[in-house]
Structure 1
Amino acid sequence: MVEVKLHDIGEGMTEGDILTYFIKKGDHVEEDQPIVELQTEKMVAELTAPAKGIVKEIYIAEGTTISVGTTILTIEADGSMEKTQSAEIQKEAYNQSVQLAERANPNIQTKLKKINGPKRIKAAPYTRKVAREMDVDIELVEGTGKDGRITIEDVQQFAQNKESAATKVMPAVKQLQNQSFQEMAENQGVEEKEEAAIIPFKGRRKQIAKKMTTSIFTIPHVHHMEEIDMTELLQFRKEIKPDADVSVVAFFIKALTISLREYPIFNAKLDEKKEEIRLEKGVHMGIATDTEEGLIVPVIKNADKKSILAIHKEMKELMKKAKENTLSLKEMTGSTFTISNVGPMGSVGATPIINYPEVGLMAFHKTKKMPVVNDNDEIVIRSMMNITLTFDHRVTDGGNAIAFTNRFKALLEKPKLLLIELR
């Protein structure tokens, strides 16, 4: 008997949520066939069958949070007539159900296929997610991608065909349902009431909640706020745009890497067990990204060694992957400092929670034009932006936070200083 356990698939991972099974008890599986999808703190991942055989028992229900080392299911490896017969009986039962469905609905062109044997479904986790949301059995979808891989378009086309067929029979069913409910309400005096919508608290949302709770109850958060005159940086960006269309956030990241080199206490991690503060060698910049699944933090590795243009290109690619839920584990781990660019959404201020176990996080808020009194006591219109630095007060203090943000501010208000600091 082979046990399939939740093993550590990421840095320091301790638990995960069972999202969905691709198999059921009694199914025959091939070695390396995807059998279960789970949500960790960082990503959605698949576990594959370690051996060929019959799924003997499934111990964990979908939606359950389990710790690393927990046995999820067991597989009885191939080698006996009994297992072969079991698989054959299931195939025959399924095929008979397909035949009955086709006889009962001769005018409906179904996409159901008879089982000819174990089949490994080639589809990305995001494609499987789309299939579940559209109530499509992915095993019945024909893949048109490379090597028969199922694409999102394949799932959508299958759902469209299924819906087209269903419209031929569903109107009558719905009419009967409505009539039945109406008659029941009239006979028993029952009033139709709206029920509250329920959102399952699991998956990435639950993992985010756990990490935020750990951070807020472990770290004494302090928030230092500052305003930055963005006028010269925006003008500089406008001048170079014909030759290099670089986002303003790429300048933020480069200015931060310079500031973090000078104030490495903010590019650190506290190890409470060893009672030591570890100053990280490289600056690995986490970028808080809002997605449909919730907050996710892709990481630009060694940002301090990259040009502003290189940072811009890598950031755009990572954010695109984050939106599509296609980031690899390596692209989501190892950050030493995190940024949150909430300005485009209209934020003028916030008190963010640190990306534990980092020491600091900086949020960039909305840039807006406003009257400012300059050094000559003249009122001028400038583009001003608020920032918030959140830091761990166990590791450093307010004086360092002010000095750190002042250095960052100086680099942005006089962007040509960035040229001097480039390596």
Structure 2
Amino acid sequence: MSEIKVPEMGESITEGTIAKWHVREGDRVHTGDVLAELETDKVNLEISAEQDGVIEGILRQEGETVGIGETIARIGAGGDAAAPAGKPADETDGGARPAASGDADKAAAATPSAQEATAPASAGASSNDSRTSEQARQAADGYAASPAARKLARERGIDLGQVAAQDPIGRIRQEDVKAHSEQKGAESSKAQQSTPAAAAKTGESAVAVSDGGKPVERRKMSRRRITIANRLVEAQRTAAMLTTFNEVDMTAILDVRKRRKQAFQEKNDIGLGFMSFFTKAVVGALKRFPLLNAEIKGDEILVKQYYDIGIAVSAKEGLVVPVVRDADRLGFAGIEKQIAELAGKARSNTLSLNDLQGGTFTITNGGVFGSLLSTPILNTPQVGILGMHKIQLRPIAIDETTMANRPMMYIALSYDHRIVDGSEAVRFLVVVKELLEDPESLLLEG
């Protein structure tokens, strides 16, 4: 028998939450099969089987927090000791085996019944096998319980370690599991009818409670959402954050995309979007104002000589910021391909830790959701983040006598005022504006 343990997941991750089990006790698995999905602060990871065998015990349930190296399940070689989970006793191999299990239960309880007195003699011959099987199962998880009790506990998602045994020798029986289940149900119902705080203790991910006679849905926050919330609050608490704004005339970029979009797609097998223009413009501005590509560490400033640009992506469980590595060395097609690949990973929950670590500056695009103006929050320890917004036609004064409707976008730069002065931030944003309004200059910036 081998133990399934929570694997190492990176320096900054010490625990996770079991999001989903893909197997049940008694299931036969093969090497490489996905057993469970683990949700961490940053990514979701799959835990796979390292050998063939049968799941003999699931020690931690969905929603529970587990630490690195903690045992969450056990895999055995299989055989007669483990029947498929949820399989009725009368469907197991050998007609005598159900009777043997029943006899073992009765003998342990030391309360013979009329059925025991008239049991076939052949049943006694197989009772030793049944007891051996049951003892192996008890040794696996540390609890003495009848097969019927185990089956009911699995069906109702009950941890046998929380069930009180009425049997004098401490053996958990089916009636004990039923009593425990009914007690939990009564406590849950009572908690839901009391205060909202008490309702939250039931552990349900979504509990309907009453608030002044009006319905309220109470949902448990996911680990990732909690982490996002903590990081945003920490950014506002630790950084001297300030935001400056400007606007960009997108006419030239729209014209380039209109003329080059099809040829670009055919040549590179990827669409020409706006993010490659903005990434290039940001890199060009960072080269002129390197303090926006730095971070504070203690009483030192670390100015980074590389340009790993984080691109904020909205995923199902919250915002993530995968990183485009060495963006200064990539062409437009390379940037677009990396962004498309990372966005796809984010939405399918397959991002790795390496995809998320080490960014030097972040770009976020609220315009895809219709945002006209916003103040983005820093992605610490970075000291700068650029916010893109919706492109909107607005009347613009071309000169003293001419007005025209132009596709305009507001851009916002949030920065850490501890190391970036206001004049630097304003000039940085002006450079971004100038590069975007003259796309040819992006080629000269490299």
TM range (shorter): 0.5 to 0.7
> Aligned partner of 2:21: which letter?
Y
Q: 1:410 to 1:203 in 2, by over 3 A?
A: same
Alignment of 1:73 with 2:82, yes or no, is no
Q: Distance in 1 between matches of 2:80 and 2:301?
A: 60
- Distance in 1 between the 2:60 and 2:70 partners? 8
Contact 1:291 1:323 in 2 (8 A): yes
- Cα gap change, 1:17/1:218 in structure 2, threshold over 3 Å: closer, same or farther? farther
Alpha-carbon separation, structure 2, partners of 1:229 and 1:58: 59
In structure 2, what is the equivalent of residue 201 of structure 1? 221
Residue segments in structure 2 that go unaligned for 5+ positions in a row: 93-154, 156-212, 265-270
Letter in 2 for 1:379: M
Structure 1 equivalent of residue 17 of structure 2: 17
Contact 2:57 2:75 in 1 (8 A): no
Corresponding residue for residue 40 of structure 1:
40
Shift of 1:95: 3.8
Structure 2 vs 1, CA of residues 387 and 291 (structure 1 numbering), >3 Å: closer, same or farther?
same
| Structure 1 spans left out of the alignment, 5+ residues | 79-83, 101-136, 138-192
Establish whether residue 251 from structure 1 lines up as the match of residue 285 from structure 2: no
State the distance in 1 between where 2:302 and 2:3 align: 39
For residue 294 of structure 2, what is the aligned residue in structure 1?
268
Partner of residue 82, structure 2: 90
The match for 2:182 is none
Of the candidates 338, 342, 361, which is equivalent to residue 385 of structure 2?
A: 361
Of the three residues 236, 239, 263, the one matched with 2:259 is: 239
Partner SS, residue 391 of structure 2:
strand
Output the amino acid matched with 1:210: N
Distance in 1 separating the partners of 2:90 and 2:394: 69
CA drift at 1:338: 1.2
Equivalence for 1:219: 239
> SS state of the match for residue 374, structure 2?
coil
In 1: Cα distance, 2:215 partner to 2:91 partner: 39
2:358 partner amino acid:
G
- Distance, in Å, in 2 between the alignment partners of 1:282 and 1:297 is 18
- 1:94/1:3 Cα in 2 relative to 1: closer, same or farther (>3 Å)? closer
1:310 to 334, 338, 359: 334
Question: TM-score, normalization: structure 1?
Answer: 0.66
Give CA deviations for 1:30-85 in whole Å, capped at 9, x if unaligned. Answer: 6665443211122110234567788787665432345x54624364877xxxxx6x
Aligned length: 321
In structure 1, distance between residues paired with 2:242 and 2:388: 16
- Answer yes or no: is the 8 Å Cα contact 1:284–1:303 preserved in 2: yes
Answer whether contact 2:367 2:388 (CA < 8 A) is retained. yes
Q: Deviations over 1:338-375 (max 9, x none)?
A: 11111122111112221122111111011111112234
Specify whether residues 11 and 285 from structure 1 end up closer, same or farther in structure 2 by C-alpha distance, changes over 3 A only. farther
Q: Distance in 1 between matches of 2:15 and 2:85?
A: 37
Which residue matches 2:306?
Answer: 282
Give the 3 Å change call, closer, same or farther, for CA 231–208 of structure 1 in structure 2. same
**C-alpha displacement of 1:194:** 8.0
Instruction: Tell me which moved more, 26-35 or 392-401.
Output: 26-35
TM-score (norm 2): 0.63
2:352 alignment counterpart = 328
Deviates more, 1:290-299 or 1:236-245: 236-245
Question: Is the partner of 1:281 in helix, strand or coil?
Answer: coil
Show the counterpart of 2:186.
none
**1:17, 1:38 within 8 Å by CA — same for their partners in 2?**
yes
The residue number in structure 2 matching 1:125 is none
Secondary structure class of the residue paired with 1:42: coil
> 2:8 & 2:84 partners in 1: Cα distance?
38
Distance 2:62 2:230 in 1: 19
The answer on 1:410 being equivalent to 2:434 is: yes
Match of 1:140 in 2: none
Q: Which residue of 2 aligns with 1:338?
A: 362
* Conserved? CA contact 1:231–1:382, under 8 Å: yes
Distance 2:259 2:228 in 1: 40
The CA deviation string for residues 90-119 of structure 1, in whole angstroms up to 9 with x for no partner, is 31674436959xxxxxxxxxxxxxxxxxxx
Relative to structure 1, is the Cα distance of residues 410 and 50 closer, same or farther in structure 2, using a 3 angstrom cutoff?
same
Aligned to 1:182: none
| Residue type at the aligned position of 2:354 | K
Matched position secondary structure for 2:220: coil
Identity %: 34
Counterpart CA distance in 2 for 1:198 and 1:400 is 45
